[in-house]
């Protein structure tokens, strides 16, 4: 009767507080590079949006109609025909809405392992049981999903198929087809979380799962290609489910900031976001290359790492019985930071893993940070 939820804070967000000392070179947070924000363009967009008094008023829960059209057109242009989306307060809110609408005590949710830890947090809060599905260099392993579906009967599968958090890996096109088939055969809903998909530094785009399966809830975000401070995400789902999720959003926050939505709509109409993303990709690609190039001289023999085609992250596994949480304490004394991998596991953590983000530091800073990290790891 006097229940208060027992909850644990995100280790990454707690870590961000620890690593905010200016002398620390942090590879911990999944932060976009602030110097690459189009601050002038965004400020101009707010200024233009705020010439209309209506942007200060309450607004429909579904979101700004102009922004919904612009987002739907962008998705359609990227090969995912989209008639409507629900605008959310960042794609984290989309995850929370899905969790509220579709999970609860007794529900089972399957997740790629390792996976985005705030998704795990969100699912845990509903009381649902989380079951891991194996992944390898090509992403989630379909045979593992078949086995989990047969034994655990999950209602939902959550994954970040493109440039995953935390691994940076991309699910191959062949596996996507197979996973869509499994979902169709077993009444499984897929949550395709895609905040990084447009940040590709080499190779060519893989079709989204949502283009192969009607049972997919597709989540997108302005945070990695625009600005996370605006807290704008979107959710694409079949019409019935979109309506349910809209009602859940009414109770969650009535609607997302009218001001931020209007500014984003103006920004998208007045600016060439693709050109901005091309600039981001050129710079982030160079940062990725710098980090990958430094890894052999940074890590002990036997260390393995992912080789991301895009996104923000490299995932490492140290040899032997290394514990990256212990190593982090040493790293912080050397003014460098990363995220220990354990928190990204749903059940049994691999303590020898860790996540490095290469987007928020310049090539020079990456060089210096990796040199500091070498002193810790070698």
302-321 residues near its own copies, rule: CB under 8 A: none
**Per-position x/- string for 214-233, each x denoting binding to its own copies as judged by CB under 8 A, each - no binding:** ---------x---xxxxx--
Alpha helices in the chain (DSSP H): 11-18, 39-49, 65-77, 90-102, 117-125, 142-152, 173-185, 239-253, 258-270, 273-298, 324-333, 363-377
Which of 11, 31, 138, 211 contacts its own copies by CB under 8 A? 31
Does residue number 65 form part of the binding site for its own copies (CB under 8 A)?
A: no
CB nearer to its own copies: pick between 118 and 205: 118
DSSP states of 117-185:
HHHHHHHHHTT-EEEEE-EETTEE-HHHHHHHHHHH--SEEEE--SS-TTT-----HHHHHHHHHHHHH
CB nearer to its own copies: pick between 41 and 367: 41
Pairing state between β 129-133 and 108-112: parallel
Minimum distance between the CB of residue 81 and its own copies, rounded to whole angstroms? Answer: 24
Does residue number 251 form part of the binding site for its own copies (CB under 8 A)?
A: yes
C-alpha angle 310-372-282 in degrees, rounded to nearest 5:
25
Which of 26, 72, 82, 92 contacts its own copies by CB under 8 A? 92
Does residue number 15 form part of the binding site for its own copies (CB under 8 A)?
A: no
Nearest in space to 268 (alpha carbons), one of 321, 220, 340: 220
Does residue number 359 form part of the binding site for its own copies (CB under 8 A)?
A: no
Site for its own copies in 109-148 (CB under 8 A): 118, 121-122, 125, 127
CB nearer to its own copies: pick between 151 and 204: 151
Stretch that binds its own copies, among 30-38, 67-75, 298-306, 348-356 (CB under 8 A): 30-38
Does residue number 247 form part of the binding site for its own copies (CB under 8 A)?
A: yes
Which of 70, 225, 248, 316 contacts its own copies by CB under 8 A? 248
Distance, CA of 339 to chain centre = 15
What residue has token string 């090969």?
Answer: 79
Minimum distance between the CB of residue 13 and its own copies, rounded to whole angstroms? Answer: 6
Does residue number 1 form part of the binding site for its own copies (CB under 8 A)?
A: yes
Which of 10, 76, 83, 333 contacts its own copies by CB under 8 A? 10
Helix (H) or strand (E) holding 110: strand 108-112
CB nearer to its own copies: pick between 247 and 269: 247
Nearest in space to 220 (alpha carbons), one of 206, 233, 208: 233
Site for its own copies in 149-188 (CB under 8 A): 153-155, 187
Kindly give, in sequence order, each residue whose CB lies less than 8 Å from that of residue 283, ignoring residues fewer than 6 positions away: 33, 36
């Amino acid at each position: 009767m006097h229940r208060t939820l027992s909850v644990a804070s995100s280790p990454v967000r707690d870590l961000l507080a620890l690593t905010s000392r200016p002398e620390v070179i942090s590879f911990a947070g999944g932060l976009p590079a602030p110097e690459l924000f189009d601050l002038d363009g965004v400020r101009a967009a707010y200024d233009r949006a705020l010439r209309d008094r209506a942007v200060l008023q309450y607004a429909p829960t579904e979101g700004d109609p102009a922004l919904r059209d612009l987002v739907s057109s962008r998705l359609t242009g990227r090969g995912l025909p989209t008639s409507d989306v629900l605008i959310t307060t960042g794609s984290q809110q989309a995850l929370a809405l899905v969790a509220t609408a579709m999970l609860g005590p007794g529900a089972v949710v399957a997740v790629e392992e390792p996976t985005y830890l705030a998704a795990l947090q969100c699912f845990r809060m509903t009381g649902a049981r989380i079951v891991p599905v194996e992944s390898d260099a090509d992403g989630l392993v379909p045979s593992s999903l078949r086995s989990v579906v047969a034994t655990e009967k999950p209602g939902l599968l959550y994954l970040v198929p493109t440039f995953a958090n935390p691994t940076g890996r991309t699910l191959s096109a062949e596996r996507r087809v197979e996973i869509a088939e499994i979902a169709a055969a077993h009444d499984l809903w897929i949550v395709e979380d895609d905040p990084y998909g447009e940040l590709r530094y080499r190779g060519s785009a893989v079709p989204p799962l949502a283009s192969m399966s009607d049972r997919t809830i597709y989540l997108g975000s302005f945070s990695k290609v625009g600005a996370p401070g605006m807290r704008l995400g979107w959710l694409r789902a079949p019409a019935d489910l979109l309506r349910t999720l809209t009602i859940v959003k009414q109770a969650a926050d009535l609607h997302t900031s009218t001001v931020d939505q209007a500014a984003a709509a103006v920004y998208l109409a007045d600016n060439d976001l693709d050109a901005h993303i091309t600039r981001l990709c050129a710079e982030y690609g160079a940062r990725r290359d710098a980090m990958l190039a430094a890894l052999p001289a940074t890590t002990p023999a036997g260390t393995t790492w992912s080789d991301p085609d895009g996104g923000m992250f490299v995932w490492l596994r140290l040899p032997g019985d290394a514990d990256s949480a212990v190593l982090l304490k040493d790293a912080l004394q050397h003014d460098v930071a990363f995220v220990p991998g354990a928190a990204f596991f749903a059940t049994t953590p691999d303590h020898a893993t860790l996540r490095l983000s290469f987007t928020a530091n310049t090539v020079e800073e990456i060089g210096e940070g990796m040199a500091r990290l070498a002193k810790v790891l070698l």
